[in-house]
């Protein structure tokens, strides 16, 4: 900031400096040159008149005016110097423009107010004294004019105030207005920066939300489809092994493979229907954040329906099951669940026995043990007393763990343990080493199973641990808080 309150690097409207020396703009320099020229002419004329009255050479008065007048060029850089020069030439009764413009610039600048008040008071005093002496001499020269004693002091004081107060008050107003404008501009720039920062953060949050939704949808599709397709591959491998030795068992395995395929197709159709509905809602501007939960609900409903149909199809392999599945799928008119069904529908702990039964049907030796169950309650659940997301997460952990046993340890024995505790729910799936005589079904692995299980458990505030056992098997453990409610 300069002495006049203007910025040294930017103009009054924030424009870059384009003027010479200390001027912010060229038009400011032109104005000051014009004022300095006018002040020089005035001071030279008044200096000549002063020299005549003081009986001095006229050239002395003109030189004094030529020295004092151009000082006005410095008003934006050193306003105090301009006012001091105007005070110094007051006794010579010159520098009226110099004093007026100097006081205005001083009051509008960033000079401390006490300095402005002191110099304004000195100007008033100098003008008062000079005017009083001049008027007294004029009155004394006129013998027939005898004014009251108070008239000369009053006129001197009035003239001093008239010549000093207006430029000072106007300068104070302009300075205050300039500071207010600068403050508002700085505040506007700050708000613009904050808005830009908020927009960047909003874009980051939106991108994070999109990535999170993609991850959740991919996790749901992996959980609900990979398990059933893995069982299909296991049954197909068993069918290939016994096709010539035991035609009856081969026929039964073929029927199971067909049932599993139709179940997987049904679940895929319903999940794709949910995704299409979510895409349409996004085009219309509706919220679609519940799509992953709706996918979970669809998968659970289709899985439960497929389990019941698979049980009814075991004595006779075939066509009736396929018919019922096709009629029950979305192509046959099944409705897609709404977003509000995401927590009311989902895999329950009571369905763990059915999940384990599917692995047993594929040839795996699986043991299910439940701790903390009261008498008369279901084997896999102490009643539905947990939040839907907790039960769904436990179900998915067991489902993915058994799928991994099918993939990586064919023929191994597995043990599923579920513990109902006072404030938490624990689940553990452990398998032994792979049996040497078991045929490898050649199931591919994408490496997302353990990652998905860990994400599900930690999202609910639980603890997930996985790793190999000393006996050569693998263990997956998860502990979830019982009080967790769905987000």
Among 406, 405, 421, 417, smallest CA distance to 473 is for 405
Residue 192's contacts (CB-CB under 8 Å, 6 or more residues apart) are none
Q: Check residue 350 and give its pLDDT.
A: 83
Instruction: Indicate the pTM of the whole model.
Output: 0.46
Per-residue pLDDT of the chain (487 residues; tens, 9 = 90+): 444 444 444 444 444 455 567 777 788 888 888 888 898 888 888 888 888 877 788 888 888 888 888 888 888 888 999 989 888 888 888 888 888 898 998 888 888 888 888 988 888 888 888 888 877 777 777 777 777 778 878 888 888 888 888 899 998 899 899 999 999 999 999 999 999 999 999 999 999 988 887 777 777 776 667 666 777 777 677 676 667 777 777 777 777 777 777 777 777 777 667 666 655 555 444 444 455 555 555 555 555 554 444 444 443 333 333 333 333 333 333 333 333 334 445 677 888 888 888 888 877 889 999 887 644 455 555 445 788 888 888 988 998 888 888 888 888 899 999 998 888 899 999 998 887 655 555 555 566 778 888 888 998 899 999 999 988 899 999 999 987 544 4
Q: Tokens at residue 439, please?
A: 């045929």
3-state helix, strand, coil in the chain (%, to 5): 65, 10, 30
Give the pairing type, strands 424-431 and 463-468: unpaired
Q: Check residue 271 and give its pLDDT.
A: 67
Q: Check residue 318 and give its pLDDT.
A: 36
Q: Tokens at residue 449, please?
A: 């199973």
Q: Cα–Cα distance between 96 and 83 in angstroms, integer? A: 11
Say how many C-beta atoms besides its own lie within 10 A of residue 12's C-beta: 14
Q: Is the dihedral of CA 384, 385, 387, 389 positive or negative?
A: negative
Q: Cα–Cα distance between 456 and 461 in angstroms, integer? A: 9
């Amino acid at each position: 900031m300069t002495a006049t309150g203007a910025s040294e690097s930017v103009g009054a409207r924030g424009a870059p400096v384009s003027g010479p020396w200390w001027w912010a703009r060229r038009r400011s320099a032109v104005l000051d040159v014009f004022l300095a020229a006018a002040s020089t002419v005035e001071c030279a004329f008044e200096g000549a008149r002063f020299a005549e009255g003081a009986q001095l050479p006229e050239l002395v008065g003109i030189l004094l005016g030529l020295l004092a007048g151009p000082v006005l060029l410095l008003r934006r850089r050193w306003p105090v110097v301009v006012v001091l020069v105007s005070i110094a030439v007051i006794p010579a009764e010159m520098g009226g423009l110099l004093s007026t413009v100097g006081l205005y610039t001083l009051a509008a600048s960033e000079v401390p107010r006490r300095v402005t008040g002191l110099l304004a008071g000195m100007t008033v005093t100098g003008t008062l004294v000079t005017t009083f002496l001049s008027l007294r001499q004029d009155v004394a020269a006129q013998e027939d004019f005898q004014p009251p004693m108070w008239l000369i002091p009053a006129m001197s004081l009035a003239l001093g105030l008239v010549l000093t107060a207006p430029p000072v008050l106007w300068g104070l107003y302009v300075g205050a207005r300039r500071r207010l404008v600068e403050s508002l501009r700085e505040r506007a720039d700050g708000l613009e920066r904050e808005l830009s920062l908020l927009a960047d953060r909003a874009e980051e949050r939106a991108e994070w939300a999109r990535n999170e939704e993609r991850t959740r949808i991919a996790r749901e599709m992996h959980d609900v489809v990979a398990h059933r397709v893995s069982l299909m591959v296991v049954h197909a491998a068993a069918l290939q092994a016994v096709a010539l030795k035991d035609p009856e068992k081969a026929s039964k395995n073929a029927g199971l493979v067909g049932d599993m395929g139709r179940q997987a197709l049904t679940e895929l159709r319903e999940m794709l229907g949910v995704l299409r509905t979510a895409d349409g809602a996004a085009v219309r501007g509706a919220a679609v954040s519940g799509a992953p939960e709706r996918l979970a609900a669809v998968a659970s409903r289709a899985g439960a329906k497929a389990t019941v149909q698979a049980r009814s199809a075991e004595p006779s392999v075939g066509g009736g099951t396929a018919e019922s599945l096709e009629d029950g799928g979305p192509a046959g008119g099944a409705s897609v669940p709404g977003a509000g069904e995401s927590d009311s529908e989902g895999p329950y702990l009571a369905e763990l026995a059915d999940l384990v039964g599917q692995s047993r049907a594929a040839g795996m030796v699986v043991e299910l043990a439940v701790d903390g169950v009261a008498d008369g309650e279901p084997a896999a659940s102490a009643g539905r007393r947990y939040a839907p997301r907790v039960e769904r997460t436990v179900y998915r952990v067991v489902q993915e763990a058994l799928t991994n046993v099918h993939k990586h340890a064919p023929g191994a024995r597995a043990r599923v343990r579920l513990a109902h505790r006072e404030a938490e729910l624990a689940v553990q799936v452990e398998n032994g080493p792979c049996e040497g005589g078991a045929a490898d079904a050649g199931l591919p692995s994408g490496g997302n199973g353990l990652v998905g299980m860990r994400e599900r458990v930690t999202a609910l505030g639980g603890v997930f641990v996985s790793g190999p056992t000393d006996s050569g098997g693998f263990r997956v453990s998860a502990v979830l808080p019982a009080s967790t409610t769905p987000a």
